[in-house]
Structure 1
Amino acid sequence: MKLISPASWPDYELIDTGNFEKLERFGAFVLARPEPQAIWDKSLTDSDWQGMAHATFRRDRNSPERGDWQTKPDMRDPWFVKFRQEGLNLTFKLALTTFKHVGIFPEQADNWVYLHKAISQLNTPRPKVLNLFAYTGGASLAARQAGADVTHVDAVKPVISWARENMDHSELDNIRWVVEDAVKFVRREVRRGNRYNGIILDPPAYGRGPDGEKWVLEEQLNDLLKSCADLLDRTDFFFIINLYSLGFSALILENIMGQTFSNVANAEWGELFLADSYQKRLPLGVFYRFASVPL
């Protein structure tokens, strides 16, 4: 089992964590947001946090998920950050949302580098890559920049519009955008006999499709993975799955993946984390990834 954290990223820094919050710098701006797994004490004082943060998220008392941002006058929204590593040259638009998210999950940067390397080493000249629950497209952009033919699937139309902006700002093109429930899309692709060289899967714990389809991770993940196994190319492939749910350990994911895929090769699995400036390591989900070539 591995513990993986992205390499140094000039436009991102996890400054401090604790008391169920995290203090992060995205480009020029510092944000304070809730973080349910940061159960330890902060290293900095509350006044330090207040002085540093350009925007602080406060939950709505009547909602466990929604809230609003308290911002200082010099906070710009939206704004942009860049990611430059291992041949990748990406630009992301960030914005303050009512769900505390800003448009990227920084812990995923190591997966962007991984899939970029995997695509570069596949034997297929223009490999087909499927990104499910694809959000604002970090993995889609990385795959497209590596030369893949990318299909980006997400159930939320405004999120796909956001991903298209990221594609434009990153000076990329020709990503296929699909606004649909991921389970329905995958089942249809299986019936059509389609195959993909790479599949990226980043499902939420709970969600709704565009027509109200219900997604519950614990109930539906196993069947979705079986369908993904039918879609994955048999000889030239990679697969990445991330889970951020307190009920899922890396061992559970390792069991499911080993049972579902017959062609697992060069597998890596474990936890993703970010370390703050005081070397406290914040767990941010579990992952499993494999490829037909060693990376």
Structure 2
Amino acid sequence: MTLLTPSAWPDYELIDSGDFMKLERFGAYVLARPEPQAIWDCSLSEAEWERQAHATFRRDKQSPERGDWLRLKPMQDPWTVRFRQQGLDLTLKLALTSFKHVGLFPEQAANWTYIHDAVKALPVEKPRVLNLFAYTGGSSLAARQAGADVTHVDSVKQVISWSRESMEMSKLDNIRWVVEDAVKFVKREERRGNTYHGIILDPPAYGRGPDGEKWVLEEQLNGILKTCAALLDKQNFFFIINLYSLGFSALILDNLMAQCFGNLPNEQSGELFLTDSHQKRLPLGVFSRFSSVDL
């Protein structure tokens, strides 16, 4: 089992974690927001968190998912951060949302560099890459900057618009944007006989498609993995899946991957994590990735 974390980068820092919260710096701004995995004590005092934070997220008592942000200091919203590492130079739009997210999952930076290196290493002139449940598209931008022909699929039109802004700020173009339910999209692609050299899968625990299609991770993950196996090129390929769900262990994912894909060359699997400035390691989901090239 691999414990995977991104290399340090100037525009992001996990300052502290604990008491089911995390204190993070995104560029110029520090945010406090819920984190269900941080069950230990904070290292810094409550007063120090309040002193540092520009905004803190407060859950709505009527909703387990939604809430609002309490502004403690002046800040821009939206704003941008920059990611420069291993040949990548991306500018990403961030904003405060009612779901506590800001448009960036910093632990995924470890996969951005992997995607960039995989696209560069594949002996294909312009690898076709499919990003499913693509959200604000850091992975799509990494693949596109490496030279891939990228298809970005998400069911929320506003998120697609957000991704497009980050693409333009990163001086990129020609990503194919698809507003559609991911399950419907991959089934149609399989019927058409289309294939991809790279597939990135980052499904939520629960979700809704643009026409009300229901996504439940436990019920549909097995099926979409089988379809992805059919879509993946048989000669030159890479595949990445991330799962952020408290009910899924790396062993469950290992079993699914072996069943659906068989041989997994250059495979890595385990947990994604970030380390705060007090050396506490915060787990942020399980992952599996493999490729036809040795990276």
TM over 0.5: yes
Superposed displacement of residue 72, structure 1: 2.8
CA distance in 2, matches of 1:217, 1:226: 14
Match of 1:285 in 2: 285
Give the alignment's TM-score, normalised by structure 1.
0.99
Tell me whether 1:52 sits opposite 2:52 in the alignment.
yes
**Does the 8 Å contact 1:155/1:179 carry over to 2?**
yes
Match of 1:4 in 2: 4
**Does the 8 Å contact 1:234/1:263 carry over to 2?**
no
SS in 2 for 1:43: coil
Tell me whether 1:274 sits opposite 2:250 in the alignment.
no
Match of 1:172 in 2: 172
Q: How many residues align?
A: 295
SS in 1 for 2:108: helix
Letter in 1 for 2:105: F
SS in 1 for 2:47: helix
**Does the 8 Å contact 2:23/2:30 carry over to 1?**
yes
Equivalent residue runs for 1:18-33 within 5 Å: 18-33=18-33
**Does the 8 Å contact 2:15/2:277 carry over to 1?**
yes
CA distance in 2, matches of 1:83, 1:159: 20
SS in 2 for 1:228: helix
Q: CA RMSD in A?
A: 0.6
CA distance in 2, matches of 1:11, 1:94: 12
SS in 2 for 1:144: helix
Deviations 1:54-96 (A, max 9, x none): 0000011111111000113421111100000000000001000
Match of 2:216 in 1: 216
CA distance in 2, matches of 1:20, 1:72: 20
Match of 1:197 in 2: 197
Match of 1:255 in 2: 255
Q: Among the aligned pairs, what percent are the same residue?
A: 74
CA distance in 2, matches of 1:76, 1:15: 20
CA distance in 1, matches of 2:169, 2:281: 32
**Does the 8 Å contact 2:56/2:72 carry over to 1?**
no
Letter in 2 for 1:96: L
Give the alignment's TM-score, normalised by structure 2.
0.99
**Does the 8 Å contact 1:29/1:53 carry over to 2?**
yes
CA distance in 1, matches of 2:164, 2:78: 15
Letter in 2 for 1:222: N
Equivalent residue runs for 1:124-135 within 5 Å: 124-135=124-135
Tell me whether 1:146 sits opposite 2:133 in the alignment.
no
Tell me whether 1:117 sits opposite 2:117 in the alignment.
yes
Tell me whether 1:81 sits opposite 2:73 in the alignment.
no
Match of 1:17 in 2: 17
Give every structure 1 segment of 4 or more consecutive aligned residues whose post-TM-superposition deviation is greater than 3 Å. Answer: none
Match of 1:159 in 2: 159
